[in-house]
Amino acid sequence: MKKGEEIKKYRTNNNLEIEKIIEEYSGYVHKIIRNMAPQCLSAEDIEEIVSDTFFILWKNREKLDDEKPLSPYIAGITKNLVKEKRKVINIHADISDYENSIQDKIKIDMIYENREKIKTIENIVKNMKEEDIFIFNLFYYSSMKLKEIATILNITEFNVKTRLYRIRKKIKKELSKGGYSYEE
């Protein structure tokens, strides 16, 4: 079969023949990656993008229009994954990147890796002391200032600042255990 054939040619018993697609389109995916990011991606990053491309295609197999060619779907998925990988490489990873993501659930659903990081952060927060959860929520969700939180809890502003520091430190430590790395 040649590139650009309709998706229905890759279906058997209402299931997508992903192995056949991988065999026929892997070179195409590699070419897209080389054209978009010729030197900034490692061999591991390229292989990750290739496998993620086919995984996302398979995961969304029910949403594909059988009458349309397969190559635009594959190209779109690949381009989005390359753009995301380039952002990750270029952006200094910091906990503040994910503080904003906690509030924006729409973006979290779009990117699997970020969704997993957010779940990890939420689980970490759930297991904290009740007062720490309260401080965390007031600061990050209610956007309250340290002084306001200190007044509400009848503690010093320095105490609030110290607890927030420890909360962030604990979150970073747990994320590191999960395989996420951060530069200080």
Instruction: Spell out the SS3 assignment of 5-61.
Output: CEHHHHEECCEECHHHHHHHHHHHHHHHHHHHCCCCCCHHHHHHHHHHHHHHHHHCH
Q: Is residue 161 part of a domain?
A: yes
* Neighbouring residues of 46: CB distance < 8 A, sequence distance ≥ 6: 30, 33
Domain around 116:
95-177
Do residue 146 and residue 166 come from a single domain? Answer: yes
**How long a stretch of residues is the chain?**
184
d(CA 54, CA 60): 10
Residue pair 62/107 in contact (Cβ under 8 Å)? The answer is no
Express each pLDDT in 133-146 by its tens digit. Answer: 888 888 887 888 99
Do residue 13 and residue 77 come from a single domain? Answer: yes
Q: Is residue 1 part of a domain?
A: no
Do residue 49 and residue 108 come from a single domain? Answer: no
How many domains does one find in the chain? 2
Express each pLDDT in 98-149 by its tens digit. Answer: 555 555 555 544 556 666 777 777 888 888 888 888 888 888 878 889 999 9
Do residue 83 and residue 99 come from a single domain? Answer: no
Q: Is residue 183 part of a domain?
A: no
> In angstroms, how far apart are the furthest CA atoms of the chain?
72
Global pTM? Answer: 0.45
